[in-house]
Structure 1
Amino acid sequence: MTSLNTSKWTKYKLLRKSAKLKANLPETAWLRESSFWRMINKYRQVIIKPTGSYGGNGVIRIKKIAPHTYEVQDGGKKINFTEQTKLSAYIKKQAGKNNIVQQRIPLATVSGRPFDLRVMVQRRPNSPWQVTGKLAKIAGKGFIVTNIRMSNGKVVSAEHALKHSELNTKRAADLLSQLDKVALQAANQLMSSYGWVRTMGVDMAFDKQGNVWIIEVNFAPMLELFLKLKDKSIYHKIKSFSQNRTKK
């Protein structure tokens, strides 16, 4: 077993090695001034986030809204910049060291608010990975991050989110099946480098066309989010797989 750190950047590079998963991974780069400008010009919208943090802390969105105008959303506040040098200086000050820049996925929404999904993938010793539960996190009003504590968002079932989103609800079963398939592929891809891991919280999303994306993978996800679902049996099932695990 290879000993590796568990940063977002390291896990992304390992996932990128899978030909099956390339289409499900937003382009991601180590944050430098050159990589930022290359990606904002390519995608017009990017996310900057610390490679080692959890819970949506330090996440900044930058959107190119005109040829020389950039909108920055940092938490609940928005700032516009019309000079590249001033924007670069702001990012350098706010982001500090050890950040990644990522293609911003146009997330599917519920009542205009973006949502993503937490898919729990777990295994018992010497057994295959299985999806033990999933939920949707809907961002609070005016926020881009779906972290419930930070944005005052809400947790609902994945089925509820799909039903009330702009995605075709007739496809809901197919979309959820594809979600599970990609989550299991991600767990199997990472397992060869992190053989000690038994629980993964795979943060995923659908874009507005119903494509599946992997946002990031946590090895110590906060299980209590699942207590917010009406069906408490999902939480108890997940908990039975992950006794005595540190939570993040």
Structure 2
Amino acid sequence: MSNLSTSKWMKYKLLRKSEELRRYLPETAWLKESAFWHMLNKYGQVIIKPTGSYGGHGVIRFKKTDDSHYELQDGAKKKIFRNQAQVNAYLKRKTSKSHIVQQRIHLATVNGRPFDLRVMVQRRPSSQWQVTGKLAKVAGAGFIVTNIRMSNGKVVSVEHAIKQSQLKSMSARDLLAKLDKVALKSAQQLGPSYRWVKTMGIDMAFDKEGHVWIIEVNYAPMLELFLKLKDKSIFRRIKSFHKK
């Protein structure tokens, strides 16, 4: 088994080595005061997350408001900071731990609620990576994280999410083909560094223009999410790959 870290930061650095994948990765940096302000000024909104957590835990958003204040959103709760000094004091508590800061992607939405995608990429021993299933996770009302338990969101098929979103005028076939291509390339890029991994749950997203983004890669994804889809054959297919 590899001793290489499975943190979000390490996986991001490995994915960045692929010139082909860079355009699908949100700009990401180790959380420092300078990196935070550079990215917030550049994008207007950023996400801060622990590099070792899963399930949406610890994920917060900062954004600049029109009146030059700064809004923090943690779950469904919001807090206003009135100046940079207040923000820096807050960041000082975070930067003592392992956090990254990331460009906020303006996700496509269903009924005003952002959604992202879980794409399962798996391989059998001595075989190529395959996309074995995908679903859309729609955030609960008032949340920015799409984690189903945390936000009380819902699982729908990717096709359904596309039809109900800003992307409905685009070709669903082309969007899904691009999704699969980027997911497979991601697994191929990470695979050699984590040879023991046979299942990857790749969290991906479409923005409101239909561009594909890689959010993060999970090596122990919760397969039961797929039981929430009407088509149970997708779950059975994933489980058949997952058996030792």
The two structures have a TM-score, normalised by structure 2, of: 0.97
| Pair 1:9 & 2:27 matched | no
Question: 2:60 is matched with which residue?
Answer: 60
| CA apart distance, 1:93 | 3.1
Aligned 1:112-191 pairs, distance under 5 A: 112-191=112-191
> What is the alpha-carbon distance in structure 1 between the residues aligned to residue 91 and residue 108 of structure 2?
27
| Pair 1:76 & 2:76 matched | yes
Question: 1:109 is matched with which residue?
Answer: 109
Question: 2:51 is matched with which residue?
Answer: 51
Q: Which amino acid aligns with 2:204?
A: M
> What is the alpha-carbon distance in structure 1 between the residues aligned to residue 118 and residue 145 of structure 2?
13
Report the count of equivalent residues.
244
Question: Is contact 1:50–1:95 with CA below 8 Å preserved after alignment?
Answer: no
Question: Is contact 2:2–2:196 with CA below 8 Å preserved after alignment?
Answer: no
Question: Is contact 2:31–2:95 with CA below 8 Å preserved after alignment?
Answer: no
Question: Is contact 1:58–1:95 with CA below 8 Å preserved after alignment?
Answer: no
| CA apart distance, 1:92 | 3.2
| Aligned-residue RMSD, C-alpha | 1.3
The two structures have a TM-score, normalised by structure 1, of: 0.95
What secondary structure does 2:63 align onto? strand
> What is the alpha-carbon distance in structure 1 between the residues aligned to residue 60 and residue 96 of structure 2?
12
> What is the alpha-carbon distance in structure 2 between the residues aligned to residue 153 and residue 196 of structure 1?
32
| Pair 1:205 & 2:240 matched | no
Cα deviation digits, residues 25-65 of structure 1 (max 9, x gap): 00000001111111101111000000000000000000112
After superposition, the Cα gap between the structure-2 partners of 1:44 and 1:170, relative to the gap in structure 1 and judged at 3 Å, is closer
> What is the alpha-carbon distance in structure 1 between the residues aligned to residue 120 and residue 198 of structure 2?
11
> What is the alpha-carbon distance in structure 1 between the residues aligned to residue 61 and residue 170 of structure 2?
32
> What is the alpha-carbon distance in structure 1 between the residues aligned to residue 136 and residue 186 of structure 2?
19
What secondary structure does 1:200 align onto? strand
Segments of structure 2 that go 5 or more residues without pairing to the other structure are none
Segments of structure 1 that go 5 or more residues without pairing to the other structure are none
